[in-house]
Amino acid sequence: MSRALIIYGSTTGNTESIAEEIEAVLSGAGVETVIRNAADISAAENLAEGFDAVLMGCSCWGDEEIELQEDFVPLAEKFSEMGLKGKKVAAFASGDSSYQHYCAAVDVIEAAARENGASLIAEGLRVEGAASDAPDDVRNFAQKIAEALAS
Protein backbone atom coordinates (compact mmCIF):
# COMPACT_ATOMS: atom_id res chain seq x y z
CA MET A 1 0.00 0.00 0.00
CA SER A 2 1.28 3.49 -0.86
CA ARG A 3 1.84 5.98 1.91
CA ALA A 4 1.27 9.73 1.64
CA LEU A 5 2.14 12.51 4.05
CA ILE A 6 0.07 15.69 3.90
CA ILE A 7 1.54 18.76 5.59
CA TYR A 8 -0.31 22.05 5.70
CA GLY A 9 0.03 25.55 7.11
CA SER A 10 -3.27 27.33 7.61
CA THR A 11 -4.35 30.34 9.66
CA THR A 12 -8.10 30.53 9.15
CA GLY A 13 -8.67 26.90 8.20
CA ASN A 14 -9.01 27.20 4.42
CA THR A 15 -5.86 25.30 3.46
CA GLU A 16 -6.65 22.87 6.27
CA SER A 17 -10.03 22.13 4.69
CA ILE A 18 -8.30 21.33 1.39
CA ALA A 19 -5.80 19.08 3.16
CA GLU A 20 -8.64 17.22 4.88
CA GLU A 21 -10.52 16.69 1.64
CA ILE A 22 -7.38 15.38 -0.07
CA GLU A 23 -6.89 13.02 2.84
CA ALA A 24 -10.45 11.74 2.52
CA VAL A 25 -10.06 11.05 -1.21
CA LEU A 26 -6.68 9.36 -0.81
CA SER A 27 -7.84 7.22 2.09
CA GLY A 28 -10.89 6.24 0.07
CA ALA A 29 -8.58 5.20 -2.76
CA GLY A 30 -6.62 2.93 -0.42
CA VAL A 31 -3.64 5.22 0.17
CA GLU A 32 -2.40 5.17 3.76
CA THR A 33 -2.42 8.87 4.57
CA VAL A 34 -0.99 10.85 7.46
CA ILE A 35 -2.05 14.47 7.81
CA ARG A 36 -0.03 16.94 9.88
CA ASN A 37 -0.49 20.59 10.73
CA ALA A 38 2.80 22.47 10.26
CA ALA A 39 2.10 24.14 13.61
CA ASP A 40 2.66 20.78 15.31
CA ILE A 41 5.92 19.93 13.57
CA SER A 42 9.03 21.07 15.35
CA ALA A 43 11.82 19.71 13.18
CA ALA A 44 11.89 18.99 9.48
CA GLU A 45 14.55 16.29 9.50
CA ASN A 46 13.56 13.18 7.56
CA LEU A 47 9.89 14.07 7.63
CA ALA A 48 9.39 12.28 4.33
CA GLU A 49 10.99 9.03 5.46
CA GLY A 50 8.67 6.08 4.99
CA PHE A 51 6.33 7.91 2.61
CA ASP A 52 5.99 7.54 -1.16
CA ALA A 53 4.44 10.97 -1.54
CA VAL A 54 4.60 14.27 0.31
CA LEU A 55 1.78 16.73 -0.36
CA MET A 56 2.29 20.23 0.95
CA GLY A 57 -0.21 23.04 1.26
CA CYS A 58 0.16 26.58 2.54
CA SER A 59 -1.55 29.95 2.32
CA CYS A 60 0.17 33.32 1.80
CA TRP A 61 -0.07 36.47 3.87
CA GLY A 62 2.07 39.10 2.18
CA ASP A 63 1.16 42.08 0.03
CA GLU A 64 3.98 42.93 -2.35
CA GLU A 65 6.19 40.10 -1.14
CA ILE A 66 5.43 36.39 -0.92
CA GLU A 67 4.96 35.58 2.77
CA LEU A 68 4.24 31.96 3.58
CA GLN A 69 1.78 31.16 6.36
CA GLU A 70 3.73 31.49 9.60
CA ASP A 71 3.59 27.87 10.79
CA PHE A 72 4.95 26.70 7.46
CA VAL A 73 7.95 29.05 7.42
CA PRO A 74 10.24 26.89 9.62
CA LEU A 75 9.56 23.92 7.31
CA ALA A 76 10.20 25.96 4.19
CA GLU A 77 13.56 26.97 5.62
CA LYS A 78 14.45 23.28 5.92
CA PHE A 79 13.10 21.86 2.68
CA SER A 80 16.54 20.42 1.96
CA GLU A 81 16.39 18.36 5.17
CA MET A 82 12.97 16.83 4.56
CA GLY A 83 14.29 13.90 2.56
CA LEU A 84 12.35 14.77 -0.59
CA LYS A 85 14.80 13.18 -3.02
CA GLY A 86 13.01 10.59 -5.13
CA LYS A 87 9.64 11.32 -3.50
CA LYS A 88 6.43 12.13 -5.30
CA VAL A 89 5.37 15.65 -4.42
CA ALA A 90 2.39 17.90 -5.11
CA ALA A 91 1.53 21.37 -3.83
CA PHE A 92 -1.74 23.06 -2.95
CA ALA A 93 -2.82 26.40 -1.56
CA SER A 94 -5.77 28.48 -0.61
CA GLY A 95 -5.60 32.14 -1.56
CA ASP A 96 -7.32 35.25 -2.73
CA SER A 97 -6.84 36.24 -6.37
CA SER A 98 -7.04 39.93 -5.56
CA TYR A 99 -3.49 39.63 -4.21
CA GLN A 100 -0.51 40.00 -6.49
CA HIS A 101 0.97 36.62 -5.57
CA TYR A 102 -2.10 34.43 -5.78
CA CYS A 103 -1.50 31.10 -4.03
CA ALA A 104 2.21 31.68 -4.45
CA ALA A 105 3.07 28.94 -1.95
CA VAL A 106 2.42 26.50 -4.79
CA ASP A 107 5.33 28.00 -6.75
CA VAL A 108 7.58 28.03 -3.68
CA ILE A 109 6.86 24.39 -2.83
CA GLU A 110 7.20 23.21 -6.43
CA ALA A 111 10.54 24.98 -6.85
CA ALA A 112 11.82 23.44 -3.62
CA ALA A 113 10.63 20.00 -4.70
CA ARG A 114 12.50 20.27 -8.01
CA GLU A 115 15.64 21.59 -6.32
CA ASN A 116 15.60 18.69 -3.89
CA GLY A 117 15.18 15.89 -6.41
CA ALA A 118 11.47 15.15 -5.98
CA SER A 119 9.11 14.52 -8.89
CA LEU A 120 5.93 16.58 -9.21
CA ILE A 121 2.96 14.28 -9.74
CA ALA A 122 0.15 16.80 -10.21
CA GLU A 123 -0.16 20.39 -11.31
CA GLY A 124 -0.33 22.59 -8.20
CA LEU A 125 -3.82 23.22 -6.88
CA ARG A 126 -4.89 26.83 -6.25
CA VAL A 127 -8.21 27.35 -4.49
CA GLU A 128 -9.95 30.65 -3.92
CA GLY A 129 -11.17 30.13 -0.35
CA ALA A 130 -11.95 26.75 1.21
CA ALA A 131 -12.28 23.25 -0.24
CA SER A 132 -16.05 23.70 -0.37
CA ASP A 133 -15.56 26.63 -2.79
CA ALA A 134 -14.00 24.36 -5.42
CA PRO A 135 -14.93 20.78 -4.52
CA ASP A 136 -14.38 19.39 -8.03
CA ASP A 137 -10.92 20.94 -8.35
CA VAL A 138 -9.88 19.51 -4.99
CA ARG A 139 -11.28 16.06 -5.77
CA ASN A 140 -9.66 15.95 -9.22
CA PHE A 141 -6.31 16.97 -7.75
CA ALA A 142 -6.52 14.26 -5.10
CA GLN A 143 -7.61 11.66 -7.63
CA LYS A 144 -4.66 12.50 -9.85
CA ILE A 145 -2.38 11.92 -6.88
CA ALA A 146 -4.09 8.63 -6.07
CA GLU A 147 -3.56 7.50 -9.67
CA ALA A 148 0.11 8.50 -9.57
CA LEU A 149 0.53 6.46 -6.40
CA ALA A 150 -1.18 3.45 -7.89
CA SER A 151 1.12 3.36 -10.93
Ligand X SMILES: Cc1cc2nc3c(=O)[nH]c(=O)nc-3n(C[C@H](O)[C@H](O)[C@H](O)COP(=O)(O)O)c2cc1C
Establish if 120 lies at the interface with ligand X (CB under 6 A): no
42 contacts: CB under 8 Å, gap ≥ 6? none
Q: How far is the CB of 90 from ligand X (least distance, A)?
A: 17
* Whether the Cβ atoms of residue 81 and residue 62 lie closer than 8 Å to each other: no
Does 102 interact with ligand X (rule: CB under 6 A)?
A: yes
The residue range among 24-32, 35-43, 84-92, 96-104 that interacts with ligand X, by the rule CB under 6 A, is: 96-104
Of 11 and 119, which has the nearer Cβ to ligand X? 11
CA–CA distance, 15 with 26 (Å, rounded to integer): 17
Which C-beta is closer to ligand X: that of 77 or that of 96? 96
Q: Which of residues 36-75 bind ligand X (CB under 6 A)?
A: 59-63, 69
- Judged by CB under 6 A, which of 10, 26, 79, 141 binds ligand X? 10
Burial of 53 (0-12, 13-18, 19+ CB in 10 A): buried
Q: Find the DSSP H helices in the chain.
A: 14-28, 73-76, 105-115, 135-150
Contact set with ligand X (CB under 6 A): 10-16, 59-63, 69, 94-96, 99, 101-104, 129
